[in-house]
Chains A and B, each alone.
Chain A
Amino acid sequence: MTGVLEKMTLLTGGDGGLDDHLARHGRLPALDGDQIVGLARDASLTGRGGAGFPMWRKLGAVAAAGTPATVIANGAEGEPASGKDRLLLTRRPHLVLDGLHLVALATGARAAHLYAPAALLPRLREALSARRAAGLDKLPVTLTAAPGAFVSGEESAVASAVAGRGAVPTDKRIRVVATGTLVQNVETLAHLALIARYGPGWFLSAGTFLATVSGAVVRPSVVEARYGVPLGDLIAASGGATERLQAVLVGGYHGGWVPADPALPVSPEALARYGASPGAGVVVALPARACGLAESAKIAEYLAGQVAGQCGPCVNGLPRMAGTLADLAAGRPRPGLAGEAARLAALVTGRGACRHPDGTARLVLSAMRAFEADVAAHLNGRCLATGGRL
């Protein structure tokens, strides 16, 4: 990369303090709300929390809600395989806070919140007082501690938490944006802060995303790259694979398995044919000798344990679905076991206040597809990956 590009990427830079931030990027230019929405639109900036929704459309919906807006920077990162939001909040808090300031302007917000793990709050409080002392941020920012649960970063759970209620998802008859509340992932906000300075054209040609690479790699790490980066480059940037790989989980625990093809571009378009997406940038490498069904069953069991306990189909369906996959993984065959996992996945999808059942079903269906040969082998008492009898 050229020096200019390095200057403008999210993670490169010094100590993360305000002086360093202003020396590197300068103050935000003066922009009005329409200009900010236009920048997000022209840059095609999408949400980096997982869903990948265009930011400018959310900004428009919140501004049109006809109620005083609230903007929330979401740094909850309940996804166990993700670490990029914590790293960003630690190393570049002022880009996130600049972005929060911009979306407050774009929506005419009366309140701004930063929602992040409790361990990060003391340093974020320091960052906020440094900004106050420098005369930045007309709108004060309220800090709220995010619990570590998987669903505590879900849009409606975030809105509920900063309103002083529990960090659990709520019913969506009225969408969160229609209540005048904008919940935006911290990485998305940091990108907006760069777009405001360097322009949508720069972002289209040089904008990045953050990936958290883990699993069978030498040095699990957060890697900054451009969409379309070959999967092998992300793994190489994490020290390379520790052994031969079988598959890679992309997007997160609600994501999908893709082949361990080093040339596979990590982009929304290229991953779509595997029913996957870059999502929140999670990349987990699975070694060839590990059983993909067993790994997926562990993830499904974790997700079943993370239900908020509110919605019947999720409370009942996720443990049953995870148990079915576990039976398949452990070689406890019953007639119709594979079909039953698929039936349960279809049954829970779309039947909850949030997308936790949908995402868990997606992971299970992806595992059945990606490890199809092992599904057949397991039903006959063998595991192809481990080479053993079950």
Chain B
Amino acid sequence: MTRLHIDWTACDGRGLCTELLEEVLVEDDWGFPVARDGQAEPVVPPPLEDAARRAVDRCPMLALKLVRR
């Protein structure tokens, strides 16, 4: 299963990922991403994998990775 891993030590809350992947992520009170499914590493459904890859590539802090687990 493909999941999105967020490196919280790198994430700066720029918000690009929540725009590119709004089906999976939403902003919290301070602009940091929150998983809609409530999981620490949210599931990326297959139709959203391309969008997720774009979010990973465009994160200015390189804080996102796709992982399989």
Contact = CB atoms under 8 A, between A and B. Distances in A.
Interface of A: 169-171, 173, 310-314, 316-317, 320, 347, 350-353
A350 B32 contact: no
A353 B11 CA distance: 11
8 contacts: A310-B9, A311-B9, A347-B28, A347-B29, A351-B8, A351-B32, A351-B40, A352-B8
Contacts of B32: 312-313, 316, 351
A311 B67 contact: no
B8 A310 contact: yes
B39 A313 contact: no
A169 B10 CA distance: 12
Interface string B6-21: 1111111100000000
Given A171-B7, A173-B7, A312 B12 contact: yes
B53 interface: no
Q: Dominant SS at the B interface?
A: loop
Contacts of A352: 8
4 residue pairs, one from A and one from B, having the closest CB atoms: A311-B8, A350-B40, A171-B7, A310-B9
A350 B32 CA distance: 13
Interface size class on chain B is 10 to 19
Nearest to A320: B29
B40 A173 contact: no
B5 A347 contact: no
B52 to A, nearest CB: 15
B62 to A, nearest CB: 11
Contacts of B29: 316-317, 320, 347
A320 B32 CA distance: 15
A353 B39 CA distance: 14
Given A310-B9, A353-B9, 4 more contacts: A313-B28, A313-B30, A347-B29, A353-B8
